[in-house]
Protein backbone atom coordinates (compact mmCIF):
# COMPACT_ATOMS: atom_id res chain seq x y z
CA UNK A 1 0.00 0.00 0.00
CA UNK A 2 1.51 3.30 -1.10
CA UNK A 3 0.80 6.57 0.64
CA UNK A 4 1.44 10.02 -0.77
CA UNK A 5 3.81 12.24 1.13
CA UNK A 6 1.84 14.99 2.85
CA UNK A 7 3.44 18.38 2.32
CA UNK A 8 4.07 20.30 5.52
CA UNK A 9 1.70 23.26 6.05
CA UNK A 10 4.62 25.36 7.29
CA UNK A 11 5.21 27.02 3.91
CA UNK A 12 1.58 27.97 3.53
CA UNK A 13 1.39 29.26 7.08
CA UNK A 14 4.55 31.35 6.65
CA UNK A 15 3.18 32.76 3.40
CA UNK A 16 -0.09 33.64 5.11
CA UNK A 17 1.80 35.23 7.99
CA UNK A 18 3.94 37.28 5.60
CA UNK A 19 0.86 38.46 3.68
CA UNK A 20 -0.91 39.37 6.93
CA UNK A 21 2.13 41.25 8.25
CA UNK A 22 2.53 43.06 4.92
CA UNK A 23 -1.14 44.06 5.05
CA UNK A 24 -0.74 45.30 8.61
CA UNK A 25 2.38 47.31 7.70
CA UNK A 26 0.72 48.78 4.61
CA UNK A 27 -2.42 49.66 6.50
CA UNK A 28 -0.41 51.16 9.37
CA UNK A 29 1.54 53.29 6.89
CA UNK A 30 -1.67 54.41 5.24
CA UNK A 31 -3.23 55.34 8.59
CA UNK A 32 -0.03 57.16 9.62
CA UNK A 33 -0.04 59.22 6.41
CA UNK A 34 -3.72 60.02 6.77
CA UNK A 35 -3.39 61.04 10.39
CA UNK A 36 -0.29 63.11 9.62
CA UNK A 37 -2.21 64.88 6.86
CA UNK A 38 -5.11 65.37 9.22
CA UNK A 39 -2.88 66.89 11.89
CA UNK A 40 -1.26 69.14 9.28
CA UNK A 41 -4.63 70.20 7.99
CA UNK A 42 -5.86 70.99 11.47
CA UNK A 43 -2.71 72.84 12.49
CA UNK A 44 -2.03 74.69 9.24
CA UNK A 45 -5.55 75.45 8.13
CA UNK A 46 -8.11 75.16 10.86
CA UNK A 47 -6.04 76.55 13.73
CA UNK A 48 -4.40 79.15 11.51
CA UNK A 49 -7.73 80.27 10.09
CA UNK A 50 -9.15 80.63 13.57
CA UNK A 51 -6.20 82.73 14.74
CA UNK A 52 -6.39 84.81 11.57
CA UNK A 53 -10.10 85.31 12.11
CA UNK A 54 -9.42 86.55 15.63
CA UNK A 55 -6.95 89.10 14.27
CA UNK A 56 -9.44 90.17 11.60
CA UNK A 57 -12.03 90.64 14.31
CA UNK A 58 -9.48 92.76 16.15
CA UNK A 59 -8.95 94.82 12.99
CA UNK A 60 -12.67 95.16 12.53
CA UNK A 61 -13.07 96.22 16.15
CA UNK A 62 -10.39 98.89 15.66
CA UNK A 63 -12.16 100.08 12.51
CA UNK A 64 -15.44 100.25 14.42
CA UNK A 65 -13.72 102.29 17.11
CA UNK A 66 -12.43 104.62 14.39
CA UNK A 67 -15.96 104.90 12.96
CA UNK A 68 -17.38 105.79 16.39
CA UNK A 69 -14.65 108.39 16.90
CA UNK A 70 -15.39 109.97 13.53
CA UNK A 71 -19.11 110.03 14.34
CA UNK A 72 -18.36 111.92 17.56
CA UNK A 73 -16.07 114.30 15.71
CA UNK A 74 -18.94 115.17 13.36
CA UNK A 75 -21.22 115.90 16.28
CA UNK A 76 -21.73 119.66 16.41
CA UNK A 77 -22.37 119.52 20.16
CA UNK A 78 -18.97 117.97 20.86
CA UNK A 79 -17.05 120.41 23.12
CA UNK A 80 -13.59 119.19 22.14
CA UNK A 81 -11.77 120.43 19.04
CA UNK A 82 -10.91 117.98 16.30
CA UNK A 83 -7.21 118.12 17.12
CA UNK A 84 -8.00 116.62 20.53
CA UNK A 85 -8.75 113.31 18.82
CA UNK A 86 -5.26 113.03 17.39
CA UNK A 87 -3.80 111.03 20.30
CA UNK A 88 -6.72 108.56 20.29
CA UNK A 89 -6.33 108.02 16.55
CA UNK A 90 -2.60 107.36 17.04
CA UNK A 91 -3.35 104.66 19.65
CA UNK A 92 -5.95 103.07 17.37
CA UNK A 93 -3.51 103.25 14.44
CA UNK A 94 -0.77 101.56 16.47
CA UNK A 95 -3.10 98.76 17.56
CA UNK A 96 -4.45 98.40 14.04
CA UNK A 97 -0.94 98.17 12.58
CA UNK A 98 0.01 95.44 15.06
CA UNK A 99 -3.19 93.54 14.30
CA UNK A 100 -2.62 93.84 10.53
CA UNK A 101 0.99 92.65 10.76
CA UNK A 102 -0.05 89.67 12.88
CA UNK A 103 -2.94 88.92 10.55
CA UNK A 104 -0.63 89.06 7.54
CA UNK A 105 1.57 86.36 9.13
CA UNK A 106 -1.46 84.18 9.85
CA UNK A 107 -3.22 84.76 6.54
CA UNK A 108 -4.19 81.45 4.84
CA UNK A 109 -2.22 80.30 1.87
CA UNK A 110 -5.18 80.62 -0.48
CA UNK A 111 -5.39 84.41 0.00
CA UNK A 112 -4.42 86.11 -3.25
CA UNK A 113 -1.74 88.77 -3.69
CA UNK A 114 -4.39 91.22 -4.91
CA UNK A 115 -6.31 90.83 -1.65
CA UNK A 116 -3.19 91.42 0.40
CA UNK A 117 -2.21 94.44 -1.69
CA UNK A 118 -5.71 95.91 -1.59
CA UNK A 119 -5.95 95.69 2.16
CA UNK A 120 -2.49 97.20 2.68
CA UNK A 121 -3.09 100.07 0.24
CA UNK A 122 -6.54 100.79 1.64
CA UNK A 123 -5.17 101.08 5.17
CA UNK A 124 -2.31 103.31 3.99
CA UNK A 125 -4.67 105.58 2.04
CA UNK A 126 -7.03 105.76 5.03
CA UNK A 127 -4.31 106.95 7.41
CA UNK A 128 -2.99 109.44 4.85
CA UNK A 129 -6.49 110.85 4.63
CA UNK A 130 -6.64 111.00 8.44
CA UNK A 131 -3.34 112.85 8.44
CA UNK A 132 -4.67 115.42 5.92
CA UNK A 133 -7.83 115.81 8.00
CA UNK A 134 -5.88 116.58 11.17
CA UNK A 135 -3.66 118.97 9.16
CA UNK A 136 -6.76 120.97 8.16
CA UNK A 137 -8.01 120.91 11.75
CA UNK A 138 -4.63 122.15 12.94
CA UNK A 139 -4.97 125.16 10.64
CA UNK A 140 -8.33 125.94 12.19
CA UNK A 141 -10.28 124.76 9.15
CA UNK A 142 -12.67 122.52 11.16
CA UNK A 143 -15.43 122.72 8.57
CA UNK A 144 -13.16 121.50 5.80
CA UNK A 145 -11.83 118.79 8.13
CA UNK A 146 -15.33 117.55 8.94
CA UNK A 147 -16.16 117.65 5.26
CA UNK A 148 -13.09 115.41 4.70
CA UNK A 149 -14.40 113.01 7.32
CA UNK A 150 -17.85 112.82 5.73
CA UNK A 151 -16.70 112.53 2.15
CA UNK A 152 -13.47 110.50 2.43
CA UNK A 153 -12.71 108.95 5.79
CA UNK A 154 -16.09 107.34 6.43
CA UNK A 155 -16.18 105.89 2.94
CA UNK A 156 -12.68 104.49 3.29
CA UNK A 157 -13.52 103.09 6.75
CA UNK A 158 -16.62 101.35 5.38
CA UNK A 159 -14.57 99.98 2.48
CA UNK A 160 -12.00 98.59 4.90
CA UNK A 161 -14.71 97.07 7.10
CA UNK A 162 -16.27 95.46 4.04
CA UNK A 163 -12.88 94.06 2.95
CA UNK A 164 -12.25 92.66 6.45
CA UNK A 165 -15.76 91.14 6.50
CA UNK A 166 -15.08 89.46 3.18
CA UNK A 167 -11.85 88.03 4.61
CA UNK A 168 -13.75 86.71 7.64
CA UNK A 169 -16.33 85.10 5.36
CA UNK A 170 -13.50 83.59 3.31
CA UNK A 171 -11.93 82.22 6.49
CA UNK A 172 -15.25 80.72 7.56
CA UNK A 173 -15.65 79.11 4.17
CA UNK A 174 -12.09 77.75 4.45
CA UNK A 175 -12.91 76.28 7.85
CA UNK A 176 -16.01 74.65 6.44
CA UNK A 177 -14.00 73.20 3.55
CA UNK A 178 -11.35 71.96 5.98
CA UNK A 179 -14.06 70.39 8.14
CA UNK A 180 -15.45 68.68 5.04
CA UNK A 181 -12.00 67.42 4.10
CA UNK A 182 -11.44 66.15 7.66
CA UNK A 183 -14.80 64.38 7.54
CA UNK A 184 -13.81 62.83 4.18
CA UNK A 185 -10.51 61.67 5.66
CA UNK A 186 -12.31 60.15 8.64
CA UNK A 187 -14.80 58.45 6.31
CA UNK A 188 -11.96 57.14 4.16
CA UNK A 189 -10.07 55.84 7.18
CA UNK A 190 -13.24 54.21 8.47
CA UNK A 191 -13.81 52.50 5.14
CA UNK A 192 -10.22 51.36 5.08
CA UNK A 193 -10.56 50.01 8.62
CA UNK A 194 -13.60 48.00 7.59
CA UNK A 195 -11.85 46.75 4.46
CA UNK A 196 -8.74 45.88 6.45
CA UNK A 197 -10.72 44.04 9.11
CA UNK A 198 -12.60 42.19 6.40
CA UNK A 199 -9.33 41.24 4.70
CA UNK A 200 -7.83 40.10 8.02
CA UNK A 201 -10.92 38.04 8.82
CA UNK A 202 -10.81 36.50 5.36
CA UNK A 203 -7.10 35.71 5.84
CA UNK A 204 -7.82 34.18 9.25
CA UNK A 205 -10.70 32.11 7.84
CA UNK A 206 -8.60 30.92 4.90
CA UNK A 207 -5.68 30.10 7.19
CA UNK A 208 -7.99 28.24 9.57
CA UNK A 209 -9.54 26.28 6.72
CA UNK A 210 -6.07 25.47 5.42
CA UNK A 211 -5.00 24.32 8.87
CA UNK A 212 -8.15 22.23 9.31
CA UNK A 213 -7.65 20.62 5.92
CA UNK A 214 -3.95 20.00 6.55
CA UNK A 215 -4.63 18.58 10.01
CA UNK A 216 -7.38 16.31 8.69
CA UNK A 217 -5.07 15.02 5.98
CA UNK A 218 -2.22 14.56 8.45
CA UNK A 219 -4.42 12.77 10.98
CA UNK A 220 -5.89 10.62 8.20
CA UNK A 221 -2.37 9.72 7.14
CA UNK A 222 -1.41 9.01 10.73
CA UNK A 223 -4.47 6.80 11.13
CA UNK A 224 -3.55 4.95 7.94
CA UNK A 225 0.05 4.58 9.11
CA UNK A 226 -1.14 3.40 12.52
CA UNK A 227 -3.37 0.84 10.86
CA UNK A 228 -0.51 -0.30 8.67
CA UNK A 229 1.75 -0.48 11.70
CA UNK A 230 -0.80 -2.60 13.54
CA UNK A 231 -1.17 -4.86 10.54
CA UNK A 232 2.61 -5.12 10.20
CA UNK A 233 3.01 -5.80 13.94
CA UNK A 234 0.35 -8.48 13.78
CA UNK A 235 2.03 -10.09 10.79
CA UNK A 236 5.43 -9.91 12.44
CA UNK A 237 4.14 -11.41 15.67
CA UNK A 238 2.20 -14.08 13.77
CA UNK A 239 5.32 -14.86 11.74
CA UNK A 240 7.39 -14.95 14.90
CA UNK A 241 4.94 -17.31 16.63
CA UNK A 242 4.75 -19.50 13.54
CA UNK A 243 8.54 -19.63 13.30
CA UNK A 244 8.92 -20.42 16.99
CA UNK A 245 6.22 -23.09 16.75
CA UNK A 246 7.96 -24.74 13.80
CA UNK A 247 11.37 -24.59 15.51
CA UNK A 248 9.84 -25.99 18.69
CA UNK A 249 8.18 -28.81 16.80
CA UNK A 250 11.38 -29.59 14.90
CA UNK A 251 13.37 -29.68 18.12
CA UNK A 252 10.76 -31.77 19.89
CA UNK A 253 10.01 -34.17 17.05
CA UNK A 254 13.14 -34.46 14.97
CA UNK A 255 16.00 -33.92 17.40
CA UNK A 256 14.06 -35.40 20.28
CA UNK A 257 13.34 -38.58 18.38
CA UNK A 258 16.94 -38.80 17.17
CA UNK A 259 18.33 -38.42 20.68
CA UNK A 260 15.76 -40.86 22.04
CA UNK A 261 16.81 -43.41 19.39
CA UNK A 262 20.49 -42.80 20.17
CA UNK A 263 19.83 -43.35 23.86
CA UNK A 264 17.93 -46.56 23.14
CA UNK A 265 20.69 -47.89 20.88
CA UNK A 266 23.35 -47.04 23.44
CA UNK A 267 21.31 -48.86 26.09
CA UNK A 268 21.04 -52.02 24.02
CA UNK A 269 24.71 -51.86 23.06
CA UNK A 270 25.69 -51.52 26.69
CA UNK A 271 23.73 -54.59 27.67
CA UNK A 272 25.72 -56.61 25.17
CA UNK A 273 28.99 -55.64 26.79
CA UNK A 274 30.39 -57.66 29.69
CA UNK A 275 29.49 -56.44 33.17
CA UNK A 276 32.14 -54.10 34.50
CA UNK A 277 33.91 -53.59 31.15
CA UNK A 278 35.35 -50.19 30.22
CA UNK A 279 33.33 -50.01 26.96
CA UNK A 280 30.06 -50.57 28.85
CA UNK A 281 30.88 -47.71 31.20
CA UNK A 282 31.72 -45.42 28.25
CA UNK A 283 28.47 -46.33 26.53
CA UNK A 284 26.52 -45.57 29.70
CA UNK A 285 28.26 -42.18 30.01
CA UNK A 286 27.43 -41.30 26.39
CA UNK A 287 23.84 -42.40 26.98
CA UNK A 288 23.57 -40.03 29.96
CA UNK A 289 24.95 -37.16 27.87
CA UNK A 290 22.37 -37.87 25.18
CA UNK A 291 19.60 -37.92 27.81
CA UNK A 292 20.80 -34.62 29.25
CA UNK A 293 20.87 -33.10 25.77
CA UNK A 294 17.38 -34.46 25.13
CA UNK A 295 16.08 -32.85 28.34
CA UNK A 296 17.64 -29.50 27.38
CA UNK A 297 16.13 -29.68 23.89
CA UNK A 298 12.70 -30.44 25.33
CA UNK A 299 13.04 -27.52 27.76
CA UNK A 300 14.13 -25.22 24.93
CA UNK A 301 11.25 -26.49 22.79
CA UNK A 302 8.76 -25.72 25.55
CA UNK A 303 10.30 -22.28 26.06
CA UNK A 304 10.01 -21.43 22.37
CA UNK A 305 6.41 -22.60 22.10
CA UNK A 306 4.88 -24.92 24.69
CA UNK A 307 2.95 -27.67 22.99
CA UNK A 308 0.91 -27.80 26.16
CA UNK A 309 -0.56 -24.39 25.27
CA UNK A 310 -2.20 -25.82 22.15
CA UNK A 311 -3.22 -29.09 23.77
CA UNK A 312 -4.33 -28.16 27.30
CA UNK A 313 -4.94 -24.37 27.23
CA UNK A 314 -3.60 -21.37 29.12
CA UNK A 315 -4.36 -22.38 32.71
CA UNK A 316 -2.60 -25.76 32.56
CA UNK A 317 0.31 -24.20 30.68
CA UNK A 318 0.81 -21.60 33.41
CA UNK A 319 0.55 -24.32 36.05
CA UNK A 320 3.54 -25.95 34.34
CA UNK A 321 5.41 -22.78 33.32
CA UNK A 322 5.52 -20.89 36.62
CA UNK A 323 7.26 -23.70 38.61
CA UNK A 324 9.66 -24.09 35.69
CA UNK A 325 10.59 -20.40 35.91
CA UNK A 326 11.10 -20.79 39.66
CA UNK A 327 13.58 -23.60 39.09
CA UNK A 328 15.41 -21.82 36.28
CA UNK A 329 15.66 -18.33 37.82
CA UNK A 330 15.51 -18.93 41.54
CA UNK A 331 12.59 -16.50 41.90
CA UNK A 332 9.87 -17.18 44.43
CA UNK A 333 6.62 -16.82 42.47
CA UNK A 334 3.28 -16.57 44.25
CA UNK A 335 0.69 -17.74 41.74
CA UNK A 336 -2.95 -16.84 42.36
CA UNK A 337 -5.94 -17.84 40.23
CA UNK A 338 -9.46 -16.53 40.66
CA UNK A 339 -12.76 -16.79 38.81
CA UNK A 340 -14.13 -19.60 36.69
CA UNK A 341 -11.69 -20.39 33.86
CA UNK A 342 -13.05 -20.56 30.32
CA UNK A 343 -11.44 -21.58 27.06
CA UNK A 344 -9.53 -18.81 25.31
CA UNK A 345 -8.86 -18.34 21.65
CA UNK A 346 -5.45 -19.71 20.76
CA UNK A 347 -4.09 -16.31 19.70
CA UNK A 348 -5.22 -14.72 22.96
CA UNK A 349 -3.64 -17.57 24.96
CA UNK A 350 -0.34 -17.09 23.14
CA UNK A 351 -0.31 -13.35 23.79
CA UNK A 352 -1.12 -13.78 27.50
CA UNK A 353 1.66 -16.36 27.76
CA UNK A 354 4.18 -14.11 25.96
CA UNK A 355 3.31 -11.10 28.14
CA UNK A 356 3.86 -13.26 31.23
CA UNK A 357 7.17 -14.48 29.81
CA UNK A 358 8.42 -10.95 29.16
CA UNK A 359 7.23 -9.66 32.52
CA UNK A 360 8.96 -12.45 34.44
CA UNK A 361 12.13 -11.97 32.36
CA UNK A 362 12.12 -8.29 33.35
CA UNK A 363 11.68 -9.23 37.01
CA UNK A 364 14.55 -11.70 36.82
CA UNK A 365 16.96 -9.51 34.85
CA UNK A 366 16.24 -5.94 35.87
CA UNK A 367 14.22 -5.64 39.07
CA UNK A 368 16.69 -7.23 41.49
CA UNK A 369 13.73 -8.72 43.35
CA UNK A 370 13.72 -12.30 44.64
CA UNK A 371 9.96 -12.62 44.84
CA UNK A 372 7.05 -11.81 42.54
CA UNK A 373 3.29 -12.28 42.41
CA UNK A 374 1.41 -13.62 39.40
CA UNK A 375 -2.38 -13.22 39.38
CA UNK A 376 -4.71 -14.65 36.74
CA UNK A 377 -8.34 -13.62 37.01
CA UNK A 378 -11.30 -14.77 34.91
CA UNK A 379 -14.43 -12.57 35.10
CA UNK A 380 -17.53 -11.99 33.07
CA UNK A 381 -16.01 -8.88 31.52
CA UNK A 382 -12.38 -9.73 30.90
CA UNK A 383 -9.32 -11.85 31.52
CA UNK A 384 -6.77 -10.10 33.75
CA UNK A 385 -3.11 -11.00 34.17
CA UNK A 386 -1.04 -9.14 36.74
CA UNK A 387 2.67 -9.49 37.54
CA UNK A 388 3.95 -7.58 40.55
CA UNK A 389 7.40 -7.24 42.07
CA UNK A 390 8.94 -5.10 44.79
CA UNK A 391 12.26 -4.48 43.07
CA UNK A 392 13.92 -1.29 41.90
CA UNK A 393 11.28 -0.50 39.29
CA UNK A 394 11.59 0.97 35.83
CA UNK A 395 14.27 3.65 35.58
CA UNK A 396 13.06 7.12 34.51
CA UNK A 397 15.41 7.09 31.53
CA UNK A 398 13.66 4.11 29.99
CA UNK A 399 10.17 5.52 30.68
CA UNK A 400 8.49 2.36 29.50
CA UNK A 401 10.12 2.43 26.05
CA UNK A 402 12.03 -0.82 26.19
CA UNK A 403 11.62 -3.26 23.35
CA UNK A 404 10.01 -5.79 25.63
CA UNK A 405 7.44 -3.31 26.92
CA UNK A 406 6.68 -2.18 23.38
CA UNK A 407 6.17 -5.79 22.32
CA UNK A 408 3.83 -6.39 25.25
CA UNK A 409 1.75 -3.36 24.32
CA UNK A 410 1.60 -4.50 20.70
CA UNK A 411 0.32 -7.90 21.79
CA UNK A 412 -2.29 -6.29 24.01
CA UNK A 413 -3.52 -4.11 21.13
CA UNK A 414 -3.73 -7.08 18.77
CA UNK A 415 -6.37 -8.74 20.98
CA UNK A 416 -8.17 -5.48 21.77
CA UNK A 417 -6.77 -5.33 25.28
CA UNK A 418 -4.84 -2.83 27.35
CA UNK A 419 -1.47 -3.04 29.05
CA UNK A 420 -0.68 -0.88 32.05
CA UNK A 421 2.80 -0.64 33.56
CA UNK A 422 2.73 1.30 36.82
CA UNK A 423 5.12 1.74 39.74
CA UNK A 424 4.24 0.20 43.05
CA UNK A 425 3.36 2.22 46.14
CA UNK A 426 6.52 1.02 47.93
CA UNK A 427 8.71 0.52 44.85
CA UNK A 428 8.79 -2.13 42.21
CA UNK A 429 6.59 -2.50 39.15
CA UNK A 430 3.16 -3.90 38.34
CA UNK A 431 2.30 -5.10 34.83
CA UNK A 432 -1.44 -5.43 34.25
CA UNK A 433 -2.85 -6.99 31.07
CA UNK A 434 -6.60 -6.88 30.49
CA UNK A 435 -8.35 -8.55 27.54
CA UNK A 436 -12.11 -8.20 27.04
CA UNK A 437 -13.88 -11.53 27.26
CA UNK A 438 -15.62 -11.11 23.90
CA UNK A 439 -12.22 -10.77 22.22
CA UNK A 440 -10.65 -13.61 24.20
CA UNK A 441 -13.51 -15.99 23.37
CA UNK A 442 -14.13 -14.75 19.84
CA UNK A 443 -12.89 -17.96 18.27
CA UNK A 444 -13.02 -20.31 21.25
CA UNK A 445 -12.93 -23.92 20.24
Instruction: Based on the fold, state whether residues 170 and 310 are members of the same structural domain.
Output: no
Across 180-198, b (16+ Cβ under 10 Å) vs e yields eebeeeeeeeeeeeeebee
- Phi, psi at residue 59, to the nearest 5°? -60, -45
Q: Is residue 226 part of a domain?
A: no
- Same domain (yes/no): 195, 323: no
- φ, ψ (nearest 5 deg) of residue 330: 80, 5
- Phi (first) and psi of residue 118, to 5 degrees: -65, -45
| End-of-domain residue from the set 161, 187, 211 | 211
Say yes or no: 68 and 178 in one domain. yes
- Running DSSP on this structure, what letter comes out for residue 251? I
Indicate the helix (H) or strand (E) that contains 113. helix 113-138
Same domain, yes or no, for 57 and 161? yes
Instruction: Give the span between the Cα atoms of 313 and 376, in whole angstroms.
Output: 14
Asked, for residue 282, whether it belongs to a domain, the answer is no
**pTM metric for this prediction:** 0.50
User: Same domain for 27 and 176?
Assistant: yes
Partners of 267 in the beta sheet? none
Among the ranges 225-229, 284-288, 327-331, which has the highest mean pLDDT value? 327-331
CA distances from 403 to 235, 307, 429 (A): 17, 26, 17
Same domain, 199 and 317: no
Q: What is the rounded end-to-end Cα distance, in angstroms, of the chain?
A: 34
In a domain, 130, yes or no: yes
Assess contact for 123 and 92: CB atoms under 8 A.
Answer: no
Kind and range of the H or E element at 333? strand 332-338
| Most confident among 48-52, 255-259, 363-367 (mean pLDDT) | 363-367
pLDDT, averaged across the chain: 81
Range 202-227 average pLDDT: 81
User: What is the C-alpha to C-alpha distance for residues 352 and 238, in angstroms, rounded to an integer?
Assistant: 14
Q: For 333, what's the count of Cα atoms within 13 Å in the CB-facing half-sphere?
A: 29
59 lies in a domain? Answer: yes
| Domain boundary pick from 187, 211, 235 | 211
Beta-bridged to residue 433, according to DSSP, are 385, 419
CA dist 160 and 63 (Å) reads 8
- 384: pLDDT strictly greater than 90: yes
pLDDT of residue 434: 93
| Closest to 359 (Cα-Cα) out of 335, 388, 380 | 388
Pairwise pLDDT comparison (320 vs 268), residue with the higher score: 320
Residue 270 lies in a domain: no
Q: Is residue 196 part of a domain?
A: yes
d(CA 95, CA 322): 121
Please report, for residues 259, 270, 271, 277, 286, the alpha-carbon distance to residue 281 in angstroms, rounded to integers and kept in the order given. Answer: 19, 8, 11, 7, 9
Instruction: Report yes or no: 352 and 385 within 8 Å, Cβ to Cβ.
Output: yes
Q: Which of 337, 332, 430, 439 is nearest to 386 (CA)?
A: 430
Query: Looking at residue 398, what DSSP letter applies?
Result: T
Both 321 and 194 in one domain: the answer is: no
Cα separation, 178 vs 185, in Å, equals: 10
Q: Which residues contact 72 (CB under 8 A, 6 or more apart)?
A: 78, 85
Phi, psi at residue 106, to the nearest 5°? -95, 0
Residue 81 lies in a domain: yes
Residue 71 sits in the same domain as residue 207:
yes
Contact residues for 343 (Cβ-Cβ < 8 A; gap 6+): 313, 441, 444, 445
Identify the domain boundary among 211, 229, 263: 211
pLDDT digits (tens, 9 = 90+) for 143-184: 898 898 888 888 888 988 998 888 888 888 877 877 787 778
The verdict on 312 and 205 lying in the same domain is no
CATH of the domain at 388: 3.30.565.10
How far, CA to CA in Å, does 158 sit from each of 82, 121, 125, 161, 162?
Answer: 21, 15, 13, 5, 6
**For position 4, what pLDDT does the model report?**
47
Structural domain that includes position 383: 306-440
Residue 311: is its pLDDT beyond 90?
Answer: no
* 312 and 207 belong to one structural domain: no
Structure confidence at residue 297 (pLDDT)? 77
Q: Is the pLDDT of residue 20 over 50?
A: yes
Decide: helix, strand or coil at residue 155: helix
Q: Are both 80 and 201 inside the same structural domain? A: yes
Least trusted range by pLDDT, from 66-75, 90-99, 305-314? 305-314
Mean pLDDT within 299-327: 80
User: How do residues 338-351 score in pLDDT, each as one tens digit?
Assistant: 988 888 887 788 88
Give the CATH number, domain containing residue 54. Answer: 1.20.1330
Bridge partners (DSSP) listed for residue 386: 375, 432
Q: What backbone torsions phi and psi does residue 103 show, to the nearest 5 degrees?
A: -65, -35
Q: How many domains does the chain have?
A: 2
Among 366, 363, 352, 353, which Cα is nearest to 389's?
363
Whether residues 22 and 152 share a domain: the answer is yes
Look at residue 91 and tell me if it is in a domain: yes
Amino acid sequence: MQTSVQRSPTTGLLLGLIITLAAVVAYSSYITVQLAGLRKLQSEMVDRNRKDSLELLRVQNDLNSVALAMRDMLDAGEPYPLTAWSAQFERMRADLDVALRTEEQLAPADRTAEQRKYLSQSVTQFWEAVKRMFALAGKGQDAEARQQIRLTLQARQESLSTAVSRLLVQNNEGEQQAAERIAQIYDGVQRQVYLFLTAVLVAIVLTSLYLIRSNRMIFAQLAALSEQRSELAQKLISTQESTLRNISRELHDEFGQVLTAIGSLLGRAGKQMPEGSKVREDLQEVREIAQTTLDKIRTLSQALHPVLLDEAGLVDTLDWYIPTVERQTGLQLNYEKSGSPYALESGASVHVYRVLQEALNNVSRHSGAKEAWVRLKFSGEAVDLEVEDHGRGISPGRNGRGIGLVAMRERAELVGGTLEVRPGATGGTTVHLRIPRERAEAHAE
